[in-house]
Structure formats: C-alpha cells, structure tokens
Amino acid sequence: MSASAEASGDRSIAAGQSIQQAVSGDASVAMYTEKSLALPAEAFVMPECAPEALVNLPDKAALFVGRDRELELLDAAFRATGGVVVQAVHGLGGIGKSTLAARWAAGRTGSYNPVWWITAETPADLDAGLADLAAALQPPLRDVLSREALRERAVQWLSARDGWLLVLDNVSDPADVKPLLGRASGGRVLITSRRATGWQGVAEPVPLDVLELPEAVELFGRIRREQGEDTEGVAELCRELGCLPLAVEQAAAYCAEARISAGRYRELLAAYPAEVFAQAAEGTDAGRTVARVWRVTLDRLADTPLAVEILRLIGWWAPDGIPRAYLKGLGSPVEVTDAVRRLVAYSMITLHEDETISVHRLVQAVARGEGVDAAHRSARLLINAGDELRDAAAELGWLTHLESLASYVVPEADGEDEIWLINLGGVRYVHLDITRALQLHERVLASAERALGPRHEVTLTVRGSVARSYGYAGEHERAIGLFERNLADHVRRYGRRHPQTFAARAGLADAMRLAGRLQDALRLANKNAKKAERVLGSDDVTALQAWSRWVHVLGDLAEEDAGRYATQARDATEKLLTRATAVTGRDSNLSRGLRQSLAFARRRAGDGVGAAAMYGEYVESHIRVSGAMDRYTLRAREGLAHFHWKTAHNPTRAREVLLPLLADWESLVGPDAPQVQKLRQDFADLLNPPPGSQSNSVLET
C-alpha cells in the first residue's frame, strides 16, 4: 500500500515514502533527493566469530618442497602469546615467499579462523582484500555497504578479536601495512615482501634463501613428470639457475611443453638468456616469469638510476665476494651508498659483514641482457680496482671477477677496456698459472690486433706481455720472435730514439737472456743502454732500466763463469743500485730489483753474508711498500727461502722463512689451495728431508 503526503504551510516539504521527489508547499520548486537506504539488522552488530572454517588461500602450495627450517621458524614465532604477532618473510622475487606462506597457512586452518589471504602489493590492494574479508564475515552486507565501509568494518572486527590469521602477500612498503597493524591487538599476520629492510617496529623479518640443490631437482621433476629424464642434466640446470624456485618451475614447465631436455634448455639459456627468462609455458601465469617479476622491482628502482646501473655492472662479475670498494667512482660516496641500500632493501643484492656483495646469478643474467656496453664499463671498474690491490687474497678475488667477465664477453666483442683488463689478468697469472696467463694473453693479443691495429699503443703493450709469458713458460724462441716484431713496430710508431723503443729493445735483450743466449743478450743490452743514456741522459729512468738489463745478463754470466764475471757483475750492480736509488728512491721497483740481483752477484763473488743481507733488504722493501701479504711480497719471501736453501746452503734459515710463509698462504687461500700445494711440493725436501741427508742434519743441529 502506497503512502501519500501533502505539503501545507509556507515553504513546507511533502515527502513520499521513496523520498524520490520533494515538492515545496507552493509547488513552485521541485527538488530531487537520493534513494533512501534501509540497512539490515546485521549492519548494526559485529559478528562475535567468523563463519566456521572461513579460509581464503591460493593453491600456491601445490609444488612446495623443502623449507623445513623456515617452517619451524614460523611455527616457533607464532606460538608467542600476548598481542598481535607479525612475521615478514622477505627475499628475492621468485624465491618462493608466497609458496612458503601458502604452505604454512594451509596447515593452520584448524588453529585459526578466519585464515585470509590478501594480495597487498599496493594500499588499494590491501583495502580491497580487507573489504572482501568483511563481506565474507557478513555476506548480507556485501552489496549494501561501500567498499570503504566494508574495509573499515573488517579492521574493527580484527582489532577486537583474536584467533585469526592474515597473510599479506607481496607487500611493497612496510609503511603500507603499518596503520592496519597498529590497530590490531591480537591475531597473527604473515607478510611476504621483496623488501628486506624497513621492518623495525612493524614485523620480525624472516629471510628466505634459494632451495638446496636436491630440493630444486625434486621440484623440477614434479613439474616435468618425465620418466627417464637425465637427473645429472637436471642437477646441472638447477645449479645454473641458482636453485631459484621460480626459475626452476619456469624451466621445468617449458621443457615439458616444448619436449626438450634440461641440457637443451641450458644451451638456450646460455645463448639467449633474456629471451628464455621471458618465456612462460601455456597455461602458466605469463606474468610470473623471471624477467617480468624482476622488471617490477627494477621499475620501482627507477627513481635511483645508479642502483640499476650497479646491477648492470656487477652482472658481469662473479656472483659472490664483490668488494663494495669496486663501486668507487660511480658517484659520490653518499650516492653509491644510497644506491646499494636500495638494492639491499629490494633483496636484489646481499651485503655481508666483510664489506662484500652477493647477487643471485639469474639477476646477473637478466642484467647482462641490457647489452655489452655495460661490460665495457664493468671492465673499467675492474681495471681501477686492480690498481689498488694490496694483498694476494684480494688479487685472487679480483681474478675471479675478471674470469667471469672474460667468460661472458665473446672475444669478438672485446673493446679496449676488456683488452686492457684481460691483459692485466694475464700478467697477474704469470706466477700463479702460466698456462692460464698464456690463454688470456693470446686472446687479447688477437683482439687488440683486430680491434685496434697491430701498432696501437695498447697492442704493443699486450704483445710485450704475451712475449714475456712465453719466456716464463720456457717457449723462448716464440718469446724472442714476438719481441723482435714488437721492437720493429715500436720503431715504426715512435722512432728509434723514443723511450718506448729503448724499453722494447731491453725486453728483447731480456728474452735472449732467458733463452740462454747470454753473449747476444749482453751485446744488445749494452748497446741499448749506452744509446739510451746518450739520448735521454744518465739520470733518465728508461736509461737506468736499460742498464739494469745489462747487469742482469752479467749476473747470469757470472753463474756460468764466476772467475771471469762475478766481480764485474757485483761491482756494476752496486754502482747502478746507487744511481737508481738516488734517482728513483730506495723502494722503487728498479731499486728493489737491483737489490735482488746484487744478492746473487755478491754470492757468486763469495760474499755469502752480504748476499743474505741484501736479499733481506729486497724483501723488507716489498714489505714497506705493499705489506707482508702482497702477492709480490709473498713471492719475494718465497725467493728468500729458496735463496737461503739452494744458494746460501743454509736450510735452517730457509725453514725459518718458509714456515711463516706457508702459514700466511694457508690463512689466505686454505691449506688445499693450489698455491699452497705447489709451495709444499717445491720445498718438499726442505720440509721433509730424507734421513741422513745434509738438510736433515743441519735442521737437527
């Protein structure tokens, strides 16, 4: 039955039941109002408890493997009593945070009610999830209250009750959830996020790492479901993928659909990493690929361009043990620190207490997809870092990053920076692994001649390095041939009177000396030194270096014929050391090298005490300049032990030098490292002399 109303009185209003139309008393003006809203009784009363078994969880736990430690950590944390308990599982995108949360929550549906999953990437997402919770708690209100009102109702219900579990998935910023958590007085909240920092006062962080290798293989097998799959090939692929769950899932699904083996996938990954990481199998979430997941993070870092640049640069290095000092020069100290901070905050890198950085190898692979230009800049950073190495351990670490870059950049793409860097690597390998030194040097010589030309200054330097490596390897004729070519090209580029030409001729003389062509070397070195002194002056460093090659040859001749050459070699070396010290200082490379030569010259002249003292000064100079753990110092200390043992025939003193040297090497690289094993092998008779030997009897006295 409809109701009617009449307006009476001046300017009065008559309202019908629907209040859809209002008319003034004189009927002169019409006005329209909103439709009235009749709230159901439920709107005025909060439910005391949630409907039975109110659960909203995704099926992410279907492929769950491993994670026993993390599950136990969550169990222990959520057993705490008193107030709301909040845990934030954080880690790299694709590492399995959501899967872990879904697995843990699925096992707690009997303990909490409701168990409610909210995708909370943005504040709007969080509000929408809370509104859906309110609607699930009181379905009649779903289409009655606004979304804002429903969201507030859910917060009020949660704040007044206990026994519930919220999972807030993929939170971007801890500040987004802080208001909600501030109003909650009980219950449990499990957060997943890529953010590793900013949880102070908000949640207890729980870092999540990659799977163990057996777990990654198991995950691959569950998805691939192929009998007879080469498990070794799967393990190699999982290792290549860094055991990142998302990458393993993506690879397994793709292999299953494309009907390819794990080995074939590895081949595709090596050749086309950017394309492979962007591919998803049919029926899987196209947005859940490695490339796209991390693109979200990179987009969030766009306001800090240096952070993205750092990722692109370290993508070419080894994934672990990256010193923060390598990033020096990319910006001011504050800018670099802030960029690193943001990368840590989004779990793209990990910082360690020893000031080193780790980055997942797949993050590196995606970053390398930006192009080879970043490799050139990365090489330049390593060159700068190599100039500041202070000890052998730092050098070994630096070489691992050089090796990584060299493996990723094909030789045909070598630019000047890569050429210079890899050449430095070859120089540093000479006394560690001569085979590897030659491999690196031969690569960059070909690259330099192709990219820069046969007479470019860098090419000439590289060719000299290659020649010296051949000499150290005992391939003397190849070394001499390269030095002869290098000298001819120096003359063509610089002329006969240029310091670089004199240095190239000195290198040829030294190659002849190492080859045993001592008289040829003596004549060439003497002629070169006299001309350099005449052209450049007696105090010129290049002229002094040319004379040093001459006295080195005299020393070798004294080894063959002490009666004829020993005194001349000693006197000439002492005179030259005095001149070199006056011009270049007592701790210059030239002065230091002459001290080593003088030690041998004195010994050949019969002055054993003076020889040992001079070799000791040579080592002390290394320690003063570079410290006891520098690679050149360690080699000098090894030389001193060998000098006392084989030249001075004093095994007791040799052992006193050797044992601390061994201990230092073991502290740097471990007792099983090749450097330590080689040292033990070279000094085996000194460390373990045969019974009755001279070494044994001297050591016992």
Mapped to the 3 state alphabet, what secondary structure does 345-401 carry?
HCCCCEECCCCEEECCHHHHHHHHCCCCHHHHHHHHHHHHHHCCCCCHHHHHHHHHH
pTM of the model: 0.77
Residue 163: CB atoms within 10 Å: 13
Asked if residue 299 lies in contact with residue 351, where contact means CB atoms within 8 angstroms, the answer is no
Q: Is 669 helix (H, G, I), strand (E, B) or coil?
A: helix
Asked if residue 554 lies in contact with residue 565, where contact means CB atoms within 8 angstroms, the answer is yes
Say yes or no to pLDDT of 22 above 90. Answer: no
φ/ψ of residue 356, rounded to 5? -110, 165
CA atoms within 13 A on the CB side of 409: 34
Over residues 253-293, the pLDDT tens digits come to 888 888 888 889 888 888 777 778 777 666 566 556 777 77
Say yes or no to pLDDT of 28 above 50. Answer: no
- Determine whether 580 is exposed, middle or buried from the number of CB atoms within 10 Å of its CB (0-12, 13-18, 19+): buried
Asked if residue 573 lies in contact with residue 551, where contact means CB atoms within 8 angstroms, the answer is yes
Query: How far is the C-alpha of 485 from the C-alpha of 499, rounded, in Å?
Result: 17
Q: Check residue 699 and give its pLDDT.
A: 34
- CA distances in angstroms from 542 to 517, 580, 652, listed in the order given: 23, 11, 40
Average pLDDT for 662-680 = 89
Beta strands in 137-244 (DSSP E): 165-171, 188-193, 204-207
Average pLDDT for 598-623 = 93
Asked if residue 614 lies in contact with residue 604, where contact means CB atoms within 8 angstroms, the answer is no
Q: Check residue 314 and give its pLDDT.
A: 96
Task: Give the pLDDT band of residue 447 (cuts 50, 70, 90).
Answer: very high
| Stronger pLDDT, 498 or 144, i.e. the higher one | 498
Say yes or no to pLDDT of 27 above 70. Answer: no
Average pLDDT of the chain is 87
* Spatial CA neighbour of 432 closest among 679, 651, 262: 679
Over residues 525-579, the pLDDT tens digits come to 999 999 999 999 999 999 999 999 999 999 999 999 999 999 999 999 999 999 9
When mean pLDDT is compared over 141-145, 439-443, 631-635, the highest value belongs to 439-443
Over residues 381-412, the pLDDT tens digits come to 999 999 888 788 889 999 999 999 999 999 99
Find the radius of gyration of the CA atoms of the chain.
38
Q: Compute CA 415 distance to the chain's CA centroid, rounded to the nearest angstrom.
A: 22
* Spatial CA neighbour of 599 closest among 611, 590, 608: 611
Task: Give the pLDDT band of residue 469 (cuts 50, 70, 90).
Answer: very high
Query: How far is the C-alpha of 56 from the C-alpha of 49, rounded, in Å?
Result: 16
Q: Check residue 418 and give its pLDDT.
A: 96
Average pLDDT for 675-701 = 71
Q: Is 693 helix (H, G, I), strand (E, B) or coil?
A: coil
Average pLDDT for 414-427 = 95
Complete DSSP assignment for 261-327? -HHHHHHHHHH-HHHHHT---TTS-TT-SHHHHHHHHHHHTTT-HHHHHHHHHHTTS-SS-EEGGGG
Type of residue found at 381: L
Sheet-wide strand order for 30-32: 13-15, 21-24, 30-32
Asked if residue 85 lies in contact with residue 130, where contact means CB atoms within 8 angstroms, the answer is no
Task: Locate 633 and state its tokens.
Answer: 């110092």
Say yes or no to pLDDT of 5 above 60. Answer: no
Over residues 169-191, the pLDDT tens digits come to 999 999 999 999 998 888 899 99
Q: Check residue 31 and give its pLDDT.
A: 45
Give the residues across from 121 on adjacent strands.
none
Average pLDDT for 7-26 = 50
Query: How far is the C-alpha of 445 from the C-alpha of 461, rounded, in Å?
Result: 9
In this predicted structure, which of 34-43, 95-104, 308-317 has the lowest mean pLDDT? Answer: 34-43
* Spatial CA neighbour of 28 closest among 5, 15, 49, 12: 12
Q: Is 86 helix (H, G, I), strand (E, B) or coil?
A: strand
In this predicted structure, which of 118-127, 565-574, 666-675 has the lowest mean pLDDT? Answer: 666-675
List CB contacts of 604: < 8 A, sequence separation 6 or more. 555, 558, 559, 562, 566, 569, 570
Over residues 334-378, the pLDDT tens digits come to 999 999 999 998 888 999 999 999 998 888 888 887 677 899 999
Beta strands 115-119; 165-171: pairing state:
parallel
